[in-house]
Copies of this chain bind each other. A is one copy, B any other.
Amino acid sequence: MEKTLIRLFKEPKLDNPMFIEGLPGIGHVGKLAAEHLVAELKAEKIGEVYSPSFPPQVLIKSDGTVELMKNEVFFWRGKKPQSDLLLLVGNTQGLTPEGQYDLADKILDLVEKFGVKKMFTLGGFATGKLVEEPRVFGAVTDTELAKELEKYGVVVKGEEGGGIVGASGLLLGLGKVRGMQGICLLGETSGYLVDARSAQAVLEVLTKMLGVKINMTELENRAKDTEKFISRLQEMERRALEQMPRRVPASEEDLRYIG
């Protein structure tokens, strides 16, 4: 596998679908929001994305079976015309700049084939403080979208400047070059935990804008499950790192003692 690989199980015809992305990131806000949406809408999985720039490992599920690091594509048939959704969730992002660009580009190729012209990307914005009522920040491809966002109480960042790193940013930026419209919703978060409250704030804006209704009851439980899984994974990694002798010389250091 030298390149990003997208395996589609099914190719439904969609009516002008909206594309929604939520992958691991700050406070796992985007991932949690998008996965909750997928679950509550009972969206159907139609494909998987594998990439050599994902971490070279598998995860072990509770039944002992393994799964590759991957992104997953779902679709949901809307009740009204032009309200279909195409959703991207996953357990990782690309590890290298080149991998990030390649993945974003391949994803855009895919969603364009389904007729996508507009997208929402979801993420977190870390402020380091625990807040009761997280704000939602927004960034857009076009100024008219900024005005639309403000109607929904989203803070469109003005004089502060800043940036969006990873898939949420690149999909917007590379999509804009292709003439696609996009909105990034970033939930305010401390950044320390998998943040259900921040994900809820993002989802409240998103569902209003999409005109769909979902139940938020399970969001808190999903956050706890995710939190547990992540801390176990990190604990295992930490333990392994501490206790292991270096087995292979790291590439950079090698180059300092070339014979």
Give A contacts to B, CB under 8 Å.
Answer: 1-2, 7, 23-28, 30, 50, 52-69, 92-102, 104-105, 121, 123-128, 138-143, 146, 149, 156-170, 172-174, 176-177, 182, 184, 186, 190-192, 228-230, 232-234, 236-237, 239-259
Q: How far is the CA of A149 from the CA of B255 in the complex (A)?
A: 27
Q: Are B2 and A102 in contact, CB atoms less than 8 angstroms apart?
A: yes
**Chain B residues positioned under 8 Å from A256 (CB to CB):** 240-241, 244, 246-248
Q: Are B50 and A177 in contact, CB atoms less than 8 angstroms apart?
A: yes
Q: Are A97 and B192 in contact, CB atoms less than 8 angstroms apart?
A: no
A166 partner, pick from B230, B253, B255, beta carbons under 8 A: B255
Q: How far is the CA of A69 from the CA of B1 in the complex (A)?
A: 21
**Chain B residues positioned under 8 Å from A156 (CB to CB):** 63-64
Q: Are B55 and A24 in contact, CB atoms less than 8 angstroms apart?
A: no
Q: Are A161 and B60 in contact, CB atoms less than 8 angstroms apart?
A: yes
Closest to A129 in B: B243
Given contacts A24-B258, A62-B159, A68-B174, contact A56 B251 (CB under 8 A): yes
Identify 16 new A-B residue pairs, CB closer than 8 A, beyond the known A95-B97, A165-B254, A237-B253. Answer: A2-B105, A23-B258, A25-B257, A52-B97, A57-B249, A60-B157, A62-B161, A65-B143, A123-B259, A128-B243, A162-B232, A166-B259, A241-B256, A244-B256, A246-B256, A247-B258
Q: Are A237 and B258 in contact, CB atoms less than 8 angstroms apart?
A: no
A142 partner, pick from B62, B65, B246, beta carbons under 8 A: B65
